[in-house]
Structure 1
Amino acid sequence: MSPSIQLLKDRYLKNIKENPELYIGIELEFPIVHTKGQLTDIEVSKDLMHFLVDALSLEVEKVDQEGGPIQLVEPKSQDRILFEVSYTTVEFAFGKAKSIQEVEERFRAYMEVIQEKLREKDHAIQGWGIHPNWDINDNRPVAYPRYQMLMDYLSMGSHQESAHLHDFPQYGAFICGSQVQLDVSKSNYLRVINTFTQIEAAKAYLFANSQFSGADWDTQISRDIFWEESMHGIYPENVGVNAKLFKDEDDFFDYLDRSAIFTAERDGETYYFSPILAKDYLSTSRIRAFGINGKEVSIVPEEKDFSSHRSYQFQDLTTRGTVEFRSVCTQPLDRTFASAAFHLGLLVNLDKLEAYLETAPFFERFGRDYKSLRRQFSKKHLTDEETAGIVQFSKDLLAIAEQGLEMRGQSEMTYLVPLKEELDL
């Protein structure tokens, strides 16, 4: 086994249990929007963080370079409220929970306080996958090394002559997603990744919410293009829908070995560089790297740099013994938890889902190129045949998800109601 694959296996397999209890981890990103169409006042955002410390009895976990709070934690639940990349995006990263209701209850409590505070200054959290005022906002990164590094790294795209990249390297400041993490076991994590790869077309149809006004892209999910046609997507294995289903663990890690490493720490400083495939990283003699202060250095690759490895596939094996599902746009506020419920129900009913996908009529009609299916069914306008096919596929998946939630006995089926209404069920 190559050293890079061994390091990746050590990183991603060490916390996977044989028979884990199923917990739910939900992360929600939202734009903070000026309700009168003006740019978001980042002083309002920053004041909000200060206010929440006392209003919600939170502890400050991280501060920016001016000493202002940028990440807060609720000690008991381990929920976190933080800025995500920019001061115009707030993220709720909830501590693990046994049911979706637990998370929703806490979310509602936070939102009641937050929305009331923001309302005083004509601001609000809204349910969009793209900040509606992205083009006039202050899109600078939060004054914190990781976010500054990320924005500087994405800006390298303007110097990549061979790659076809979009012109919005600042996109990290204004795209918002809805992620869910679910516990997987050693015996099922690959099944979960393979199975959910096959349903990205339906997820595109059900959860699209990031149409972009800044470019003539025929898609309702601009976040896909932002990721795939940026520095993150120079190596296609690094982002998006997996290009294939994996035969076994070795096949999966061979694929992961072709994802990218683009950052390293030296003496407490964060550096970034042109992406290098994990498999080539340790055999690279020296790397031309850049600090967030513009300093250029030459660094020698080290094994410890794999500790910052992160791929951005839509079905992402994490270091916490979970699979993170990361292809869903932030949803309108009245259906915030529909995506989590959909994923949870399907995971619980995995056997049924696998059996259905083997013979699903949708694939007979449209083929099994899962990457291009996602792009096809996120278009702004579908043909009658496409609409009929994707609606039926989505209905079938929804029925399997609903059955899975019923098996849990937690009354979580209610979160699927907005999706059922959309499909006229």
Structure 2
Amino acid sequence: MSAKNLIYNHFFKKFENRKIGNVGCELEFPLVNKSGSDVDKAFARGIFDYFSNRGFKRAEDEGYFFENAHGDVISFDNSYNNFEFSLCYGNNLCEIKKRFDEYFAEAQNYFSRENYELIGRGTNPNKSTISQNRAEFSTYNMVDDFLKTYGKDTKFPDFPAYLSSVQTHLDVDLQTLPTAYTYFAKLDFVRAILFSNSPDFDKKGYRCYRDFLWEQSAFSKCSNITGKVDAEFETVDALVGYFLEKDMFNRKRDGKYEIFAPVNIKEYFENEKYGAKGDDIDCYLSFKNVEITARGTLEVRSDCTQPLNSSFAPCAFNLGILCNLDAAISDVDGFFDENSIAMSNTELRNIVVSGKKLNKICDEDILSDFVYDLVEIAAEALEKRGLGEEKLIEPLYKRAVTLKCPADAEYNNQNDTF
């Protein structure tokens, strides 16, 4: 079978009828026992019964996803240490946030009964006193099996149990997709400056330890399914070609997952020895910082969970940048050219997330002005939408001026103040 046609039909065809403006949000939060003890899985799972009395119903056979009439879903992502709100996309981020606020308050009310809380951080502060607490969902079990089978030599093969993030899904028309993908990848280091909130477990000074754990895991044995994006794309065909350089590591047979040593997608589907079936593409997983999804969205997935009163700042910033993409492109290109920035997207983001001084990129005053300009570019687009969404990025102005993210020592993580 043609791997190229399979990739286009599965990932790109849905963009043919998309228009910029809709946004979907996935927000994960560490669930912590305030005493520092491990999570009681039975108590944690009781949240589903609690929400079943509030309009949520089981969305799949295994009982780990509960959905309401809005299409919003609550679940535990990978582990009972990590609770997720998946908000159905729409054209008004403030309306989406309003629904989220109601769900979050209800969830916090339930968890507080036994001295638990959801917190706004990208790494779990109780890492040293808790266990993996994996949610026994078939996909999570398969991922865990792969990580432990092919990542025995890694430091934390169960790392997804201790990480939380914000993922923004954006509608983009097919013609704009290559440019949008390229520039969201270029802005990966800027989002790290604004949103890093994942201190490491070893006190080595990481701002975003999540990057390190993903990229040093067994997923690093797969080509192009984790980490930053350094390539630039001018055409959809070039993006499709990039997909063909990615790897597969799992499939389903007789309803059960199989894992295998990573295999190039083109090779897997076009070499008969692998016994591939067309619907194996349904099992494809990728964790790139910026990704094109089978839902037909451009997904920005490298942003850390934020302090509780700025949870939607990454989603609002990403939406604003997309809606004012030409201005963002002009600003990015000007910054790179005027400051002779020759480092790759990976090198730039690694400076930020590893906790190094930002003057390794360029003069910090110049960098601050650049980041501030991008916040204003996003805010301008949100203001033009006329929905009040610009208020969601107000905390970012101070972060841009000070070049301090929530993970920095000077930052008060929960109250969004210094």
TM-score, normalised via structure 2 length: 0.90
- 1:223 and 1:239 map into 2 onto residues whose CA distance is 11
Corresponding position: 1:193 with 2:177? no
**Partner of residue 277, structure 1:** 264
Corresponding position: 1:154 with 2:147? yes
**Partner of residue 294, structure 1:** none
RMSD: 2.0
Corresponding position: 1:23 with 2:16? no
Q: How do residues 341-360 of structure 1 correspond to structure 2 at under 5 angstroms?
A: 341-360=316-335
**Partner of residue 393, structure 1:** 370
- Give 2:392's aligned amino acid: Y
Q: How do residues 19-418 of structure 1 correspond to structure 2 at under 5 angstroms?
A: 20=19, 22-54=21-53, 56-62=54-60, 64=62, 69-75=63-69, 77-158=70-151, 166-214=154-202, 216=204, 219-284=206-271, 286=273, 300-360=275-335, 364-382=339-357, 384=359, 387-418=364-395
- 2:36 and 2:337 map into 1 onto residues whose CA distance is 41
Instruction: Give the 3-state SS of the residue equivalent to 1:36 in structure 2.
Output: coil
- 1:424 and 1:226 map into 2 onto residues whose CA distance is 29
Instruction: Give the 3-state SS of the residue equivalent to 2:75 in structure 1.
Output: strand
**In 2, are the aligned partners of 1:259 and 1:277 still within 8 Å (CA)?**
yes
Q: Cα offset for 1:99?
A: 1.1
TM-score, normalised via structure 1 length: 0.89
- 1:187 and 1:375 map into 2 onto residues whose CA distance is 30
**In 2, are the aligned partners of 1:202 and 1:390 still within 8 Å (CA)?**
no
Task: Provide Cα deviations, 1:352-411, integer angstroms capped at 9, x if missing partner.
Answer: 111222221587243241111000122324155554343222112111111111121111
Task: Provide Cα deviations, 1:229-253, integer angstroms capped at 9, x if missing partner.
Answer: 2122223422222121113222222
Instruction: Give the 3-state SS of the residue equivalent to 2:15 in structure 1.
Output: coil
- 2:265 and 2:137 map into 1 onto residues whose CA distance is 26
- 1:230 and 1:158 map into 2 onto residues whose CA distance is 6
Instruction: Give the 3-state SS of the residue equivalent to 2:59 in structure 1.
Output: strand
- 1:229 and 1:203 map into 2 onto residues whose CA distance is 21
Q: Percent identity?
A: 25
Q: Cα offset for 1:225?
A: 1.3
Instruction: Give the 3-state SS of the residue equivalent to 1:377 in structure 2.
Output: helix
- 1:372 and 1:236 map into 2 onto residues whose CA distance is 18
- Give 1:232's aligned amino acid: F
Q: Cα offset for 1:140?
A: 3.7
Structure 1: tracts of 5 or more residues without a match: 160-164, 288-299
- 1:393 and 1:418 map into 2 onto residues whose CA distance is 16
CA gap 1:212/1:386 in 2 versus in 1, 3 angstroms: farther
- 2:336 and 2:219 map into 1 onto residues whose CA distance is 34
Structure 2: tracts of 5 or more residues without a match: 403-418
Q: Cα offset for 1:260?
A: 1.3
**In 2, are the aligned partners of 1:228 and 1:236 still within 8 Å (CA)?**
no
Number of equivalenced pairs? 400
- 2:382 and 2:200 map into 1 onto residues whose CA distance is 34
